[in-house]
Amino acid sequence: MKRKIVITGASSEIGLAIARKVAAPGDELLLQYRSRPQACEELSRQYPGSRAVKVDLTVPRELADFCALLDDTDMLINAAALTRTGLLPDLSPVDIGDMLAVNIRALTEICAAVIPSMCVKRAGVIVNISSVTASRAARGQSVYAGTKGYVESFSRGLAAEYSSRGVRVNCVAPGAIEAGTLKELLAYGEKEVKAAVTMGRLGTPADVAEAVNYLCGPGAGFVTGQVLHVDGGFRQGL
């Protein structure tokens, strides 16, 4: 059966891994990116009718135009996120505003855009990518952690509101995944990062994609309002 799958942040390492894992032949993909267009465009060409769209989620007009494309979505995966690290007084108003814009406002408006048609069909899946910081914040991540706490609470609220109409909403909360900004940290603190993971290794984008794929599939048909932590035991602390 053809599905319309929307993935934000699709050009990131995690976003691409998710897209490649969940998509099946015949699906129609709508891949949002802000940078690194080549990977998204290449992937979209593998699925007829699919497209990759460049959208700056901090710009209200671009966000509104993107939301206008989301009618009849069967599956939404919000992987877009913005991280700015620093103690609160050191973060600029732009840093703070951009994190709130992408991690909270954009995610909220995108979910609002897909829910009506999902309710009409009495079927739909939303998976929002959170972070281990929502439950175990670190120095320099107060704002980012706060936005991810919102993602988890918001997702539980949506599940309470729309599960009876066939819409399942869950989160995946990655921990120390060898991708994105964590790679910069590994350059000078790899030993310390690994020491905080009880499994003794870093996660991969594929680990996150497997978790998302599970929540999107029939095996999770009775799962909603949950946060699936993919962190190798990082939350447990050492």
Determine which one of 33, 47, 144, 162 is catalytic.
Answer: 144
Q: In this predicted structure, what is the pLDDT of residue 180? A: 67
Query: Does 136 have pLDDT greater than 90?
Result: no
Q: Is residue 197 part of a domain?
A: no
Say yes or no to pLDDT of 156 above 90: yes
Query: Does residue 124 sit within a domain?
Result: yes
Domain with 36, as residue range(s), is: 4-177+205-229
**CA angle, residues 67, 123, 82, in degrees to nearest 5:** 40
Rounded CA-CA distance 204/186 in Å is 14
Give how many domains the chain has, as a whole number. 1
Say whether 188 is catalytic. no
Let me know if residue 140 belongs to a domain: yes
pTM greater than 0.85 (yes/no): yes
Evaluate the CA torsion angle 133, 182, 100, 111 in order and state its sign: negative
The span from the CA of 111 to the CA of 122, in Å, is 16
Q: Is residue 236 part of a domain?
A: no
Rounded (5°) CA angle 18-127-3: 70
The per-residue pLDDT for 102 is: 97
Q: Which two tokens stand for residue 36?
A: 């690194």
Domain-embedded: residue 190? no
pLDDT at 187 over 60: no
- Residue 210 domain-assigned (yes or no): yes
Residue 1: its pLDDT value, please? 77
Q: What is the mean pLDDT of residues 92-110?
A: 97
pLDDT, position 184 = 54
Above 60 in pLDDT, residue 189? Answer: no
State the Rg of the chain over Cα.
17
Looking at the domain assignment, is residue 189 inside a domain? no
Rounded to an integer, the average pLDDT of 120-125 is: 97
For residues 17, 23, 27, 28, the Cα torsion angle rounded to the nearest 10 degrees is -20
CATH of the domain at 170: 3.40.50.720
Checking if the pLDDT of 186 tops 60, the result is: no
Structural domain includes residue 32? yes
